[in-house]
Amino acid sequence: MTQPFRTHDTGRIHRDQPLRFTFDGRTLTGFAGDTLASALLANDVHLVGRSFKYHRPRGILAAGSEEPNALVTIDRGGGRITPNLRATQVELYDGLRATSQNRFPSLSFDLGAAAGWAAPLLSAGFYYKTFMWPPSFWARLYEPAIRAAAGLGRAPTEADPDRYLHQYAHCDVLVIGAGPAGLAAALGAMATGARVILCDEQAEFGGSLLAEPAATIDQWPAAAWVVEAVSTLATSVTLLPRTTAFGWYPDNLIGLVERVTDHLADPNPHAPRERLWQVRARHVIIATGAIERPLVFPHNDRPGIMLSGSARTWLHRYGVRLGARSVVATNDDSAYLTALDLHHAGVAIAGIVDTRPDPTEDLVEAARSAGISVHPGQTIARTEGRMRVHSAILSGGTQVIPCDSVLMSGGWTPSVHLFSQSRGKLRFDPATGVFLPGESAAQEVSVGACAGVFDLSVCLSDGYAAGGGGVRHFAVDGIPTLAPSLVAAPGTPHPKAFVDFQNDITTADLALATREGFRSIEHVKRYTTTGMATDQGKTSNLNALATVAGLLGATMPEIGLTTFRPPYTPVTFGSLAGASRGALFDPVRCAPMHDWAMARGAVFEDVGTWKRARFFPLGREDMHAAVARECLAVRRSAGLFDASTLGKIEVVGPDAGIFLDRLYTGTFSRLAVGRCRYGVLLGEDGFIRDDGVIGRLAEDRFHVTTTTGGAASVLHHMEDYLQTEFFDLQVWLTSTTEHFGVIAIQGPRSATILAGLVEGIALSDMPPMSVQSCRILGLPARLFRVSFTGADGFEINVPAGDAQTVWDAVMAAGERYGITPYGTEAMHVLRAEAGFIIVGQETDGTVIPDDLGLGWTIGKAKPDFVGKRSLTRPDMVRDGRPQLVGLLTKDPALVLEEGAQIVTLTDGAGPSLGHVTSSYHSAILGRSIALALVADGRARIGGSAFVPMPDGVVEVAVVRPKFLEAGAEANTGAPPAIGSVSAAAAGRPRLAEATPRTMSREATPAVAADHDGSDVPNVGTSRPPVRSAEPRPSMKLSGFPASPDVHATALAPTSRLIVRASNAAATAIGASIGVMLGSVPCRGIVSRDRAALWLGPDEWLVLAPEAEFSLLEQAIAAAGDIPASVVDVSDRNHSIEITGSRAAWCLNTFCALDLDPTAFPIGMCTRTLLGKAEIVLWRLGAETFHIEVARSFAPYVWDCLAEAAREFGS
């Protein structure tokens, strides 16, 4: 007979929907509505696991998430393996496959159970005491052995193929727990018109009411009342079943995990498996109920020994009897209800063993009149039975009661976990002997059993009032009100009297800890590990506390509770990661010529979040060959380089020059219009932060370049000083990094190649370090004559959307000269040959200009600039500072390792003088070159030093940090003279195309391997998926899921201006360009076909149709003499429109803002974050949003929204 312990008619399971499942390979059946635990019990399967340490046979203790024993692994196939799931929370579906854990070879015959015989060895502190010596044994012997013997389920080894999403939500009232108090609270909150979210960890709302068949509320049977309440709530409340509130974070941010598909046999592949909600609630109502405590007696852990209240739940909710003959052991009235209910269901109750000498008379009477014997003042001395309890021996040891189950109740512990996490203070209630919520620290209130209220009527009215619904009386019948009982006094410490079932901690362990001198409960906890398992001691904490208090002769409040920390129940890594994995782990930013480089076969490297072309191999060239060819092309003719990732900041205003004087080491206020100067940016501490070329476009307008990595931080640094120090300056900053595509053409033929393309100016009028506005192919361009290679060269800045067109034209014009595209690797070699530093490579945050020989950049006449004072601090002027030098190996073929140490002793020993900062093979020089920071390096030039390398110590000559003479790129191709420089001026860095390299040289093979191995499927390993092993095209704003609920569109190109000005100036500018620049924060104003979005108190983004003629000039003219900044940023952004009933939802999958129309009305706009990308979000309609996003982040934003929309696909 299947399901022999299923009742005939009780329970809320669907008997017309039988389900087949397997447990350890054995096929069983259950019903829809079962949990795995209830289905196992219906089949009389009680042995479900082996304990953590002693491998003792264990059964199911509880019916809810507090279950410590019944941990199983569920395998859904295809790598979908989840270990350590509580069988009590696993909903049954057809075909479910579950296996037990921590046993070998099988549950009933477990070799590890030998640990039980060795139990005296495994007492508290066992690991600390036993495995101390020798240390080398830890890694080789102890740890592997312990890991094999003790433990939980095994982590899956394959990548998890499921999808996970996050969701941000906001509400007025979040109700946690949908038992009677929580349902009433939600009803009360709903009555006020508030935005309400109600969540419960169980599949079905109702909590304890689902197991109270006799109870009525307002004349309704309790279960029917629940159905009515839920259907009422469903009209306006967000209902989240299967959703655990696991953590409380500051400012009422609550973490919830919703298990979306785990209960389904055939889930929608487009739905996430789990959704991690981050709910910002004005007010939280905690209605998390109470958890029953076990009784602590010897051998209280055998299969068949369970909590009494859970037994009622199994009976009434799941239609399961726990055995044929049960002993009830209690110190609490509630167990009498269990005994009577089971008795009526046909279970023989072999006796009620009540530790209390004077149990409640009515209940004793009721039991006895049902023919149940009651043993007051008695306890269970021990139990017998191997794989299942078969008898209980009462105190005194003479009376043996045969049984197949023991149902115990040690009273009820309010679930104060979340309240405690909210930093509320717990108070000890002497009347009930438990800790209850005391003084609040957050906007929350606890109602119902978690607040120590066990009277159903009071739970309901308290809940309703807490929700804001006011006074309401609920008429309750059919459920007795029971007095709570104190925590049972612990018996004599016994090595098999378990307190913490999951971590196998007994009263003897706790006694040992106190004997060894531990007094603080926090120390006892850590020494014994009680309460530290995945169940966080839900069933054990109070018993452990009572035991320790008894042993130390102290009261429970004197001992105090240990701290509750998130998560309440374990949270999967998948949920925590959400969509941030694979392609969406980080934005992948692509430069304007990315697709061209891809088509050309470039190998890319990660530079921050950018993908940059590292080199362009031809045929079978390796990196070395390709880089050598690219470098020689630049030295002998011309090379082309995508330098678009360089940071660019437009500095505008009457005080722009003075501002740059104060920020950079050099003097810019006297720089002539049309000229450029190299700038070094220091922190106030004097250390180099960034560098770059700065060009003066007009009296009041500078084009500042930064390193690729410094683009955001330099702007931040500048804004800091402008906003908080230099209140006297009229200057505004605008990032143009992504507006311009930057094409660097370098090499002796550069001017020849460009001459035919440039309109409006003559290149012969452009000296080195100059800048001119011109047109190229009719497009507006800023042309810089600058070099980061030591050769002649230009950098063409054109709108990013047109950069590829210009690149193609330059390639075509240079074809007859053998123009060669080069990547970042060649760029690094070329600049090192010329002795140019790279911030982040030659600097490490402790380097000052003089260390690098950049003292010449300092404007000596300037009284002050940021960092100047620090340059005269004693440590900055001392002897022995690191100084930049060149190193040449004796063997020209040997390339030093970057980071290698430099010493004076031939054997490689002795103190380090410094380290190699850059090291390459130089093709033009036919040998290796290296830059290094060496103590007193300049004094060592002409001498030698030693570099320990893996294969031995290498002698190097210390030389000036410049390897290539100016003009040495003569067309002969003969290696020029090296190693000394006479004219310092010749060595001036011109353009610091400075890309702090995030990848070490050692990483090269990995990149190459990933590239070469991109067709090898990444399966069957535990490695996370390699990000973008295969570079993907830069723009992919397509492939949005077709859905009736949400739709995204990439909008056509648009004219964009950033206006930065005072409100008065903005008014004048707005009037001339036909759209008001409003002063109300976070509002966008539309006028005909134009819009002005408020981004900050002096910053507006103006949008206009692309064909708009000279919008920029109009605005600049309007500004006239009014100090203001107007900058064209048309190509900086892409625009995306997202519409539909789920548009706000999809945004909230990645954006933490409250998008309810009351909080984010039509017309509101703001910068914010969408995942890891900054966007401007602007609401155009109830269901329509406009997104502005920097062009390199656009694919990431698009893909995020598509990921969020997938579950709504049609």
Partner 1 sequence: MLLIPCPWCGKRPENEFHHAGQAHIARPEDPSATTDEAWADFLYIRTNTKGRLAERWRHQHGCGRFFNAIRDSVTDRIAATYKPNEPPPA
Closer residue to partner 1 (CB): 783 or 1146: 1146
**Where does residue 1175 rank: exposed (0-12), middle (13-18), buried (19+ CB within 10 A)?**
buried
Among residues 73 and 422, whose Cβ is nearest to partner 1?
422
Cα end-to-end distance, the chain, whole Å: 45
CB of 874 to partner 1, least distance (A): 6
Residue among 107 and 1095 whose Cβ is closer to partner 1:
1095
Sequence-ordered strand ranges (E) for 1042-1132: 1047-1050, 1054-1061, 1084-1087, 1090-1096, 1099-1105, 1124-1128
Q: Which stretch binds partner 1 (CB under 8 A): 620-628, 691-699, 716-724, 804-812?
A: 716-724
**Under 8 Å between Cβ of 65 and 86:** yes
CA angle 112/114/117 to nearest 5° reads 145
Q: Which two tokens stand for residue 590?
A: 């692509």
Which residues, in sequence order, are CB contacts of 132 under 8 Å at separation 6+?
none
The 3-state secondary structure of 105-158 reads ECCCCEHHHHHHHCHHHHCCCHHHHHCCCCCHHHHHHHHHHHHHHCCCCCCCCC
Q: Which residues contact 973 (CB under 8 A, 6 or more apart)?
A: 632, 635, 636, 924
Q: Is 1099 in the site for partner 1 (CB under 8 A)?
A: yes
Which of 580, 609, 870, 1004 binds partner 1 (CB under 8 A)? It is: 870
Q: Which stretch binds partner 1 (CB under 8 A): 370-378, 468-476, 717-725, 738-746?
A: 717-725
Q: Which is nearer to partner 1, 409 or 1192 (CB)?
A: 1192
Nearer to partner 1, 109 or 727 (CB): 727
Using CB under 8 A, pick the residue from 563, 873, 1064, 1161 that binds partner 1. 873
Q: 280 vs 1027, which CB is nearer to partner 1?
A: 280
Strand partners, 28: 21
Interface with partner 1 (CB under 8 A), residue from 154, 386, 600, 716: 716
CA–CA gap between residue 195 and residue 1054 (Å, rounded): 38
Per-residue contact flags (x/-) with partner 1 for residues 949 to 988, judged by CB under 8 A: ----------------------------------------
1071, 1075, 1038, 1037: which is closest to 1056 by C-alpha? 1075
Q: Does 720 bind partner 1 (CB under 8 A)?
A: yes
Phi, psi of 560 (to 5 degrees): 80, 160
Provide, rounded to whole angstroms, the least separation between the CB of residue 663 and partner 1: 13
Site for partner 1 in 673-702 (CB under 8 A): 684-685
Q: Name the residue nearer to partner 1 (CB basis): 269 or 1161.
A: 1161
Binding segment for partner 1 (CB under 8 A), chosen from 68-76, 613-621, 713-721, 989-997, is 713-721
178 in Cβ contact with 244 (< 8 Å): no
Q: Is 519:552 a contact under the CB 8 Å cutoff?
A: yes
CB of 919 to partner 1, least distance (A): 33
Taking CB under 8 A as the criterion, the residue among 725, 955, 1002, 1113 binding partner 1 is: 725
Considering CB under 8 A, how many residues would be counted as binding partner 1?
37
Please state at what angle helix 507-515 crosses helix 541-552, rounded to 10 degrees.
40
Residue 638 vs residues 378, 788, 811, 814: alpha-carbon distances, Å? 97, 13, 10, 8
What is the rounded CA–CA span in Å between residue 926 and residue 1199?
Answer: 47
β-pairing verdict for 639-642 and 610-615: unpaired
- Near partner 1 by CB under 8 A: residue from 214, 265, 755, 1169: 1169
Q: How far is the CB of 580 from partner 1 (least distance, A)?
A: 13
Q: Residue 393 in contact with residue 381, Cβ under 8 Å? A: yes
Q: Minimum distance between the CB of residue 199 and partner 1, rounded to whole angstroms?
A: 19
Residue 24 as a binder of partner 1 (CB under 8 A): the answer is: no
- What is the closest distance, in whole angstroms, from the C-beta atom of residue 589 to partner 1 in the complex? 17
Rounded CA separation 411/406 (Å): 15
Least Å from the CB of residue 1097 to partner 1: 6
Residue 727 CB, shortest distance to partner 1, in Å, is: 6
Q: Which of 16, 864, 907, 1121 binds partner 1 (CB under 8 A)?
A: 864
Is residue 1065 within 8 Å of 1079, Cβ to Cβ? Answer: no
Q: Which of 235, 369, 492, 724 binds partner 1 (CB under 8 A)?
A: 724
- Asked if residue 723 binds partner 1 (CB under 8 A), the reply is yes
- Binding test (CB under 8 A) with partner 1, winner from 14, 473, 600, 869: 869
| Pairing, β 444-446 against β 274-286 | parallel
Choice between 145 and 1169, CB closer to partner 1? 1169
Cβ–Cβ under 8 Å, residues 976 and 968: yes
Structure tokens at 739: 């507006």
By the rule CB under 8 A, 1096 interacts with partner 1: yes
- Binding mask of the shown chain, residues 202 to 241, with x at each position contacting partner 1 by CB under 8 A: ----------------------------------------
| Residue 861, burial from CB neighbour count under 10 angstroms (0-12, 13-18, 19+) | exposed
Q: Which stretch binds partner 1 (CB under 8 A): 531-539, 695-703, 712-720, 1136-1144?
A: 712-720
Closer residue to partner 1 in complex, CB, 876/894: 876
Which two structure tokens, joined as six digits, stand for 769? 């370090």
Region near partner 1 per CB under 8 A, out of 364-372, 796-804, 861-869, 1039-1047: 861-869
Choice between 429 and 1174, CB closer to partner 1: 1174
1166 lies in the binding site for partner 1 (CB under 8 A): yes
Question: In the range 1050-1079, which residues lie near partner 1 by CB under 8 A?
Answer: none
Figure out which of the listed residues 672, 879, 1097, 1109 binds partner 1, where binding follows CB under 8 A.
1097
Stretch that binds partner 1, among 95-103, 122-130, 787-795, 1090-1098 (CB under 8 A): 1090-1098
Query: What distances in angstroms separate CA 83 from CA 4, 80, 98, 341, 597, one per listed residue?
Result: 28, 10, 10, 35, 45
From the list 1, 109, 133, 251, which residue makes contact with partner 1 (rule: CB under 8 A)? Answer: 251
Assess 253 for contact with partner 1 (CB under 8 A): yes
Instruction: Check binding of 249 to partner 1 (CB under 8 A).
Output: yes
User: CB within 8 A of 42, min separation 6: which ones?
Assistant: 3, 4, 5, 6, 30, 34, 318, 319, 320
- Going through 999-1052 in order, the beta strands assigned E by DSSP cover 1047-1050
Q: Please report, as residue ranges, which positions from 436 to 465 form the binding site for partner 1 (by CB under 8 A).
A: 441
Nearer to partner 1, 764 or 1158 (CB): 1158
Non-local CB neighbours of 23 within 8 Å, separated by 6+ positions = 36, 40, 45, 48, 72, 98, 99, 100
Cα separation, 783 vs 367, whole angstroms: 97
Enumerate residues 74-113 that contact partner 1 by CB under 8 A: none
Which residue in the set 12, 15, 97, 280 belongs to the binding site for partner 1 (CB under 8 A)? 280
Contact by Cβ (8 Å): 240, 197: yes
Task: Tell me the helices (H) and strands (E) count for the chain, helix number first.
Answer: 31, 62
Piece of the chain touching partner 1 by CB under 8 A; list 120-128, 212-220, 290-298, 864-872: 864-872
839 burial level (CB within 10 Å; 0-12, 13-18, 19+) = buried
Tell me the closest approach of the beta carbon of residue 225 to partner 1, in angstroms: 37
Query: In terms of CB distance, is 75 or 684 closer to partner 1?
Result: 684
Q: Which of 15, 97, 356, 868 binds partner 1 (CB under 8 A)?
A: 868
Q: H/E element holding 257?
A: strand 253-259
Residues that bind partner 1 (CB under 8 A): 249-251, 253, 278, 280, 423, 441, 684-685, 716, 719-720, 723-725, 727, 863-864, 868-870, 873-874, 1081-1082, 1095-1097, 1099, 1152-1153, 1166-1169, 1174
